[in-house]
């Protein structure tokens, strides 16, 4: 049993005036429970995890692991660390050895176990996490998702009683993340391990028996997922989202689908929608006049076709800025580590449009970004910048660099200076711009990203929050006055609120200042509402290209590539199994709702027989339910 008794924790003893990271938290987690702890960045959830793992010691109050105080030393601390295993956000921070098998053996070796027992535990952990094929590989050759599995295996080989997962899915995307959680769920059941999963993604928590919501360093809610999601408005107030399927069902209930459960946690609970309307129910009557809120403004009948036309696609053909044809590229050429990153990749970037490059890790996105930013030239194939061939020796690569700005994935490697003002002016100073001009640019850029100039210019960059750092990085790029901005997975690692704000900012930049935007992402969530054109890459080639709506029609192929669908499309896909006439290429919640109401209102065609219970298309929601 884990007990947290009136624990308060401050990171700094000196700054008594700043609020503590945790204040007077009381908590009891029994052996065998599966608990999700959720909260936005800075809510104290990670601090709580570190206190439970005896990495941090409480400022006041006590943390007990099976009755042992975490402030203990020697033998007791040893026992606590053996019983409580913790997996961190970034696998690179916790992997010690260089091959998978040695990494998994690291813990048991530290326990001083005899050789045969180490071997037995390592093999067991490898089997549990299905890592057989990777056992002898170097950790550095693995993808982030695989590394995270190795990290979990390394903990399991120590046979802990409690497994703490501190935001393990922040760096991995959709399907891989769900698979990982599914594995953890299975382990909890089979091995009786207490699992405590810390996350800021709401859709991950419904598979857990108990959900704890943290805010401002204290426990805001504690209950079953259904209890928690019933309080949707309170959740939104503290910056958390409820899963889209829960919001959807609430909206639909409000419109008269009274037979829907009060709190819907997974999309197959929507099966009531498959039952023809009007059977012993007032739904039909209600829906004959669709609620104006969910109906795209006054164009009810044409809405379907209106959505199909991609924004900015019609009219005069815009000029392609970049044109890549059958491009090849190999990293570490001429070494034993040579990797083919691009094979026959083709794409074109049109002026004024937002182009998204979507693909799993190692699909070649970063290579394309480097090329478009003028950082590398392709090894083979043609690369046109406007009408000029970049491949010819006389081409001056500076021409590309001067109009393309890149916002890299991690803002930490993009911020070089100690204060915000100095950092944003880095580019203008390099160009030897006059001081007044540079100052004006810095001010303009900071304000464009929503950071007031006077307030931020002299702030220290290391003291900024993750979201603010990203904004400063964007301002630094804007100060270079580019025409094209490349965003390389900018939302990775942000919590839902940070992500939403950043996407709004990018959409705003595009609309107000007319930038051409290139956006890379591992899932479709970010780009579905933002992009005009999406290229799906896999293993260095273009596998799909089209407007967001066209891409959504290839759900099977996307699933095979491990590219997560946006929530709305995911739900539509599940519903499609029950209501075959529903469209699956919906791009937003509003559109999905409109589709559902439209389908239900239309006179039922003969083939609209409800498929009860078993949906033909299995989504991961189903596999996760009922934990």
Partner 1 sequence: MIELSRDITFGQYINNGSALTRMDPRTKLLAAVLLIILVSFVTSFTAFALCLLYCIILQRASRISLSYALRGFKPFLGLLVFIYIIQIVFYYSPTQHTSIIWQWGIFTVSREGIIRSTLIMVRVFFLYYFASMLMFVTSLVDLTDGSEVLLSPLEKIGLPVTYIVMVFVIAFKFVPIFITEVERLIKAQTARGVRFDQGNFIRRAINFGPLLIPLFLNGFHRAEALTIAMEARCYGAGRRGWRRSKRRALHFNRSDILVLVFTIVFCIVTLIVNFVAPF
Please list every residue from 46 through 105 that binds partner 1, using CB under 8 A: 53, 55, 73-75, 77-78, 81-82, 85-86, 88, 90, 92-94, 96-99, 101-102, 105
The pair of structure tokens assigned to 232 is 């949707």
Q: Is 162 among the residues that bind partner 1 (CB under 8 A)?
A: no
Q: Rule CB under 8 A: which of 478-497 touch partner 1? A: 480
Binding mask 328-367 for partner 1 (x = CB under 8 A): ---xxxxxxx------------------------------
The pair of structure tokens assigned to 45 is 């959830």
Within 10 Å of residue 608's Cβ, how many Cβ atoms? Answer: 16
| Binding-site member from 18, 110, 282, 616 for partner 1 (CB under 8 A) | 110
Strand 516-521 versus strand 354-358 pairing type = parallel
Q: Which helix (H) or strand (E) holds 190?
A: helix 174-191
Q: Is 135 among the residues that bind partner 1 (CB under 8 A)?
A: no
Q: Is residue 327 left, alpha or beta, with left meaning phi > 0 and alpha meaning psi from -120 to 50?
A: beta
Nearer to partner 1, 166 or 591 (CB): 166
Within 10 Å of residue 119's Cβ, how many Cβ atoms? Answer: 14
- Using the rule CB under 8 A, give the single segment among 187-195, 203-211, 327-335, 610-618 that binds partner 1: 327-335
Q: Is 182 among the residues that bind partner 1 (CB under 8 A)?
A: no
Return the closest-CA partner of residue 403 out of 374, 423, 428. Answer: 374
| Binding-site member from 156, 195, 196, 477 for partner 1 (CB under 8 A) | 477
- At closest approach, how far in Å is the CB of 417 from partner 1? 8
- At closest approach, how far in Å is the CB of 103 from partner 1? 10
Residue with tokens 């490898």: 126
Task: Write phi, then psi, for 381 (nearest 5 degrees).
Answer: 100, 175
Q: Is 131 among the residues that bind partner 1 (CB under 8 A)?
A: no
Residue with tokens 């095979």: 560
Nearer to partner 1, 277 or 477 (CB): 477
- At closest approach, how far in Å is the CB of 30 from partner 1? 22
- At closest approach, how far in Å is the CB of 379 from partner 1? 12
- At closest approach, how far in Å is the CB of 80 from partner 1? 9
Strand 60-65 versus strand 162-166 pairing type = unpaired
- At closest approach, how far in Å is the CB of 39 from partner 1? 21
Rounded-to-integer distance, Cα 362 and Cα 176, Å: 14
Q: Is 517 among the residues that bind partner 1 (CB under 8 A)?
A: no
Q: In what order do the strands lie in the sheet with 68-69?
A: 22-29, 2-9, 60-65, 68-69
| Binding-site member from 44, 405, 421, 498 for partner 1 (CB under 8 A) | 405
Q: Is 394 among the residues that bind partner 1 (CB under 8 A)?
A: no
Size of the site for partner 1 (CB under 8 A): 71
- At closest approach, how far in Å is the CB of 113 from partner 1? 6
Q: Is 213 among the residues that bind partner 1 (CB under 8 A)?
A: no
Widest CA span of the chain, in angstroms? Answer: 77
- At closest approach, how far in Å is the CB of 114 from partner 1? 7
| Binding-site member from 58, 108, 239, 274 for partner 1 (CB under 8 A) | 108
Q: Is 395 among the residues that bind partner 1 (CB under 8 A)?
A: no
Return the closest-CA partner of residue 10 out of 23, 20, 25, 24. Answer: 20
Q: Which helix (H) or strand (E) holds 63?
A: strand 60-65
Judge contact between 451 and 468, C-beta under 8 A. Answer: yes
Binding mask 421-460 for partner 1 (x = CB under 8 A): -----xx--xx-----------------------------
Rounded-to-integer distance, Cα 166 and Cα 169, Å: 9
Q: Is 289 among the residues that bind partner 1 (CB under 8 A)?
A: no
Strand 194-199 versus strand 162-166 pairing type = parallel
The rounded Cα 462 to chain-centroid distance in angstroms is 24
- At closest approach, how far in Å is the CB of 426 from partner 1? 6
- Using the rule CB under 8 A, give the single segment among 238-246, 282-290, 372-380, 442-450 that binds partner 1: 372-380
Q: Is 12 among the residues that bind partner 1 (CB under 8 A)?
A: no
- At closest approach, how far in Å is the CB of 365 from partner 1? 14
Gap between the terminal Cα atoms of the chain? 20
Q: Rule CB under 8 A: which of 561-580 touch partner 1? A: none
Spatial neighbors of 257 by CB under 8 A, at least 6 apart, are: 249, 272, 273, 283
């Amino acid at each position: 049993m884990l007990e947290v008794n009136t624990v308060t924790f401050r990171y700094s003893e000196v700054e008594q005036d700043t609020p503590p990271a945790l204040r007077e938290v009381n908590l009891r987690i029994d052996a065998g429970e599966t608990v999700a702890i959720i909260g936005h960045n800075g809510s104290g959830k990670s601090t709580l995890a570190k206190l439970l793992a005896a990495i941090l010691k409480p400022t006041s109050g006590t943390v007990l692991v099976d009755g042992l105080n975490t402030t203990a030393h020697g033998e007791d601390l040893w026992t606590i660390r053996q019983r409580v295993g913790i997996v961190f956000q970034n696998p690179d921070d916790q992997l010690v050895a260089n091959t998978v098998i040695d990494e998994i053996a690291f813990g048991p070796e530290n326990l001083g176990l005899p050789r045969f027992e180490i071997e037995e535990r390592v093999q067991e952990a490898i089997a549990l996490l299905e890592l057989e094929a990777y056992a002898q590989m170097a950790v550095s050759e693995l993808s982030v998702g695989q590394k995270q599995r190795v990290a979990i295996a390394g903990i399991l080989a120590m046979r802990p009683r409690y497994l703490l997962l501190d935001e393990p899915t922040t760096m991995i995307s959709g399907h891989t993340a769900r698979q990982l959680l599914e594995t953890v769920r299975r382990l909890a059941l089979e091995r009786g391990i207490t699992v405590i999963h810390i996350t800021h993604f709401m859709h991950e928590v419904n598979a857990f028996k108990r959900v704890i919501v943290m805010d401002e360093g204290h426990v805001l809610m504690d209950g079953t997922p259904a209890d928690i999601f019933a309080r949707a408005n309170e959740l939104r107030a503290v910056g958390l989202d409820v899963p889209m399927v829960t919001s959807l069902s609430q909206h639909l209930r409000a419109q008269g689908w009274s037979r829907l459960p009060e709190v819907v946690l997974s999309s197959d609970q929507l099966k009531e929608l498959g039952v023809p309307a009007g059977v012993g129910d007032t739904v039909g009557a209600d829906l004959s006049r669709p609620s104006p809120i969910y109906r795209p403004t006054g164009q009810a009948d044409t809405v379907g076709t209106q959505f199909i036309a991609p924004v900015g696609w019609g009219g005069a053909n815009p000029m392609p800025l970049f044109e890549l044809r059958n491009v090849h590229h190999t990293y570490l050429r001429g070494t034993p580590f040579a990797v083919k990153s691009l094979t026959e990749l083709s794409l074109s970037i049109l002026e004024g449009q937002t182009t998204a490059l979507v693909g799993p890790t190692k699909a070649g996105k970063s290579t394309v970004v480097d090329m478009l930013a003028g950082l590398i030239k392709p090894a083979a194939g043609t690369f046109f910048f406007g009408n000029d061939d970049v491949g010819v020796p006389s081409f001056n690569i500076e021409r590309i660099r001067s109009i393309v700005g890149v916002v890299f994935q991690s803002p930490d490697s993009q911020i070089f200076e100690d204060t915000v003002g100095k950092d944003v002016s880095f580019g203008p100073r390099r160009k030897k711009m006059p001081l007044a001009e540079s100052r004006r640019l810095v001010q303009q850029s900071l304000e464009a990203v929503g950071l007031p100039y006077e307030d931020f210019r002299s702030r220290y960059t290391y003291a900024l929050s993750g979201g603010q750092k990203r904004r400063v990085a964007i301002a630094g790029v804007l100060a270079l006055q580019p025409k094209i901005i490349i965003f390389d997975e900018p939302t990775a690692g942000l919590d839902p609120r940070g992500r939403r704000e950043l996407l709004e900012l990018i959409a705003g930049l595009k609309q107000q200042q007319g930038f051409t935007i290139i956006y890379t992402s591992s899932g479709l969530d970010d780009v579905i509402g933002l992009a005009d054109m999406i290229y799906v890459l896999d293993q260095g080639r273009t596998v799909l290209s089209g407007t967001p709506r066209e891409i959504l029609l290839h759900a099977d192929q996307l699933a095979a590539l491990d590219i997560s669908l946006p929530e709305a499309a995911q739900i539509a896909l599940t519903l499609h199994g029950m209501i075959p006439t529903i469209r699956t290429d919906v791009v937003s919640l509003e559109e999905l709702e409109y589709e559902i109401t439209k389908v239900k209102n239309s006179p039922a065609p003969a083939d609209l027989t409800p498929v009860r219970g078993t949906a033909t298309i299995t989504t991961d929601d189903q596999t996760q339910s009922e934990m």
